Structure 1
């Protein structure tokens, strides 16, 4: 694995803060949600950043490489196209699942995979498929979770380490997610950092969140708290990351606050570099454009290097190369393993979005929190995808009440835009909204986007009766 190109300090690019991002002093790079851009029609503000020489990295959210199904070739091709269009040095995704195929269910959110041998075998094969299809290196992010899977066989550190050793994939470590999992799942961030191969680190995410009733919500809509900056310092004490990026997705603060958060991040990274130089530690090899990890001098790293299944110890600063041959016997993702993973994920996802019973072994209180969080996120995203709907329905509160009533027991199966159309059609079938003028506006909105006339009253009655019978 080649050393990572130096990225520096960056921010997640969002249309709402495009002008502020363009004015930020000392901004080295940006990350963009891959699914939100079209390679042939980049937003002008993003194109101007690229023309200025600002590096842009596409960050995918929909591949679901931790899911039971093999990666969708079309989604892989689309992610690769965006990497090429942006001249990106790498692409990133998540260690998560986002859908089930039998029955077809969409979470609309990143959900944790179980840390089991079956799930790891499936993930490793999916990663290899993605690596073969993508034109640039791939890095995967650890995610935040509200709950744990029962019957897990590995720690987070063990799971990530074996993933890297078996595939050679890079890691995107989100220190805010490490804090989230400390609060929600009782995991020790320092133990994770001690265990994982930091020589495989691509870059780092930093974000804000909020704690409610003992649960940490990774909102990306709050300031970065000191505890997350402390974790960044913990990581920086072990390795100098090639890049650190601030994520903010909602409730965007004034430009000065964004700049202040970037300054705080930069100070942590710089302080770590100064401390290392002051201690007489050997500087990272490779010059200013490369960042290498430390030699495997911790007990965990030494044990990894000496482990028989790992082969020869890696060169300092280089992650293990993926084995081009077949997986060792019993370590491949056989169809039986995929089936077991699929059944577990489908049962959980059905409980989360379709109201079916919670599978045995899960913390039911935490699952209820996740159900509410998924429904709230679904309502918020549909309102962003179709901003006219809250206005038609009388404002954010009436919209939210109507959408949550619609969504209960009606899982999303084809993405947020289809969800918005289905919601509108559901209201029209119910002869809603009650105000005739609002109903006419909703009909016109639906007709313009659906490309067909709304169902006639007799059809609506028939559908309603059929639904009640079902």
Structure 2
């Protein structure tokens, strides 16, 4: 495994804070969501950063390497194209699944994979396919989870270790996700930190979240808590990471607060302990339920049966999360309800960003959120977020909503303007009637 490129301390680049990011003192690098950029039309801010010598690393969110299907060649090509356009030393993705093909369902977010040997076989083969297709090294991120799969055979530490040993893939360790999984699943971050081969560590993510009713939500919209900096300090005691990145995706704070969080990260890296906190002594590692050497890996046609079984399990769970079908046996039903609501809320927030007129028409963010959650319950996203926005508007209009006639006319006009040559039906007749009355 070749040495990892030195990155330094950076921040996740987002359009909402692009100008602030350019002004941050001592910024070494940025990470950009790969799916949000077009190689031939980079945002001016990213171009200026590149011209200054600031490295830019593409971070993918849609490959779903932990899913039952083999990686999509088009998505791999697109990720590689972005790496080349940015001159990136590596690309990153997640150990997660995001969709199923039978039935065709999209989570709209990262979901954990079962920690079984069969799921590991599928993941390893998917990783090798991705590595062969990408022009630069690949690193994979551990994700945060609200729930655990029943019947897990491996600890997180063992699962990551065997993944590295079998594929040579690098790891992007998110210390906020380690904290999340400690709260939500009772997993000791120390066991993972102790198991990571130092040479496999590509870089580190740091982010904020919030705890509600005993569940930690990895929001990327709250300040980084001391508990997450403590985990970073424990990682720093073991290895000097090549890069550390602050993530913020929503509710962006003033520029001074971003500077303060980056300063706190630098302090931890310099001193090996979080400012104002004494890193707890390492807990005793949780015994691995299967410490024996890994069996010989299964590849190629040998994983087909494993893929089928994994696909059935993942589809049953995803259907419960986004389509309202019964929760599979063995899962914590309350946690699945929390995850389902979180997926719907995230889906609604993306639709609101793509169609900001909708919250305005419906009377504000709270009214929009309530209406969207009611719509999304039992209605999986069928054809992307833009289609979802139109389907949401249709759902409301068919039910005679919003109650205010003026708002209903505005929503009808909004829908008609964007629906295009949609086949005529009940909603089209309703729209024509409304617009006729308005005229």
TM-score, scaled to structure 2: 0.90
Corresponding residue of 2:379:
410
- CA distances 1:137-179 after superposition (whole Å, capped 9, x unpaired): 1100000000100000000011001111111110000000000
Between the aligned partners of 1:200 and 1:85, the Cα distance in structure 2 is: 25
Indicate yes or no: 2:414 matched with 1:445. Answer: yes
Aligned in 2, Cα 1:143/1:76: closer, same or farther, shift over 3 Å?
same
Indicate yes or no: 2:71 matched with 1:102. Answer: no
Aligned-pair distance for 1:185?
0.4
Aligned-pair distance for 1:382?
1.0
Aligned-pair distance for 1:430?
3.1
Aligned in 2, Cα 1:346/1:221: closer, same or farther, shift over 3 Å?
same
Instruction: Please give the residue correspondences for 1:324-339 in structure 2 after superposition, counting only pairs within 5 Å.
Output: 328=297, 334-339=303-308
Corresponding residue of 1:133:
133
Corresponding residue of 1:117:
117
Aligned-pair distance for 1:410?
0.4
Between the aligned partners of 1:186 and 1:308, the Cα distance in structure 2 is: 25
Contact 1:65 1:127 (8 Å CA) reproduced: yes
Question: Which of 364, 372, 392 is the aligned partner of 1:395?
Answer: 364
Aligned in 2, Cα 1:96/1:425: closer, same or farther, shift over 3 Å?
same
Q: Secondary structure at the match of 1:375?
A: helix
Corresponding residue of 2:68:
68
Point out where structure 2 has 5 or more consecutive residues left out of the alignment.
274-284, 431-439
Corresponding residue of 1:143:
143
Corresponding residue of 2:355:
386
Instruction: Name the stretch that deviates more: 439-448 or 176-185.
Output: 439-448
Instruction: Please give the residue correspondences for 1:272-311 in structure 2 after superposition, counting only pairs within 5 Å.
Output: 272=272
Q: Secondary structure at the match of 1:5?
A: coil
Corresponding residue of 1:173:
173
Q: Secondary structure at the match of 1:163?
A: helix
Aligned in 2, Cα 1:120/1:129: closer, same or farther, shift over 3 Å?
same
Aligned in 2, Cα 1:89/1:456: closer, same or farther, shift over 3 Å?
same
Q: Secondary structure at the match of 2:238?
A: coil
Corresponding residue of 1:54:
54
Instruction: Name the stretch that deviates more: 15-24 or 409-418.
Output: 409-418
Aligned-pair distance for 1:328?
4.0
Between the aligned partners of 2:58 and 2:37, the Cα distance in structure 1 is: 9
Aligned-pair distance for 1:332?
7.5
Question: Which of 333, 343, 358 is the aligned partner of 1:364?
Answer: 333
Q: In angstroms, what is the RMSD of aligned CA positions?
A: 2.3
Aligned in 2, Cα 1:234/1:434: closer, same or farther, shift over 3 Å?
same
Aligned-pair distance for 1:432?
3.1
Instruction: Name the stretch that deviates more: 349-358 or 444-453.
Output: 444-453
Between the aligned partners of 1:36 and 1:331, the Cα distance in structure 2 is: 32
Corresponding residue of 1:211:
211
Aligned in 2, Cα 1:454/1:384: closer, same or farther, shift over 3 Å?
farther
Between the aligned partners of 1:405 and 1:459, the Cα distance in structure 2 is: 22
- CA distances 1:401-453 after superposition (whole Å, capped 9, x unpaired): 22111111101133222211221222233343344443343233333333226
Corresponding residue of 2:220:
220
Indicate yes or no: 2:20 matched with 1:20. Answer: yes
TM-score, scaled to structure 1: 0.84
Corresponding residue of 2:153:
153
Between the aligned partners of 1:386 and 1:216, the Cα distance in structure 2 is: 29
- CA distances 1:290-348 after superposition (whole Å, capped 9, x unpaired): xxxxxxxxxx9xx9xxx9779xxxxxxxxxxxxxxxx7458975211001100110111
Between the aligned partners of 1:330 and 1:393, the Cα distance in structure 2 is: 52
Instruction: Please give the residue correspondences for 1:22-41 in structure 2 after superposition, counting only pairs within 5 Å.
Output: 22-41=22-41
Corresponding residue of 1:277:
none
Aligned in 2, Cα 1:453/1:357: closer, same or farther, shift over 3 Å?
closer
Aligned in 2, Cα 1:448/1:83: closer, same or farther, shift over 3 Å?
farther
Contact 2:205 2:246 (8 Å CA) reproduced: yes
Question: Which of 387, 393, 399 is the aligned partner of 1:430?
Answer: 399
Between the aligned partners of 1:17 and 1:47, the Cα distance in structure 2 is: 15
- CA distances 1:215-247 after superposition (whole Å, capped 9, x unpaired): 111111111111111111111111110000000
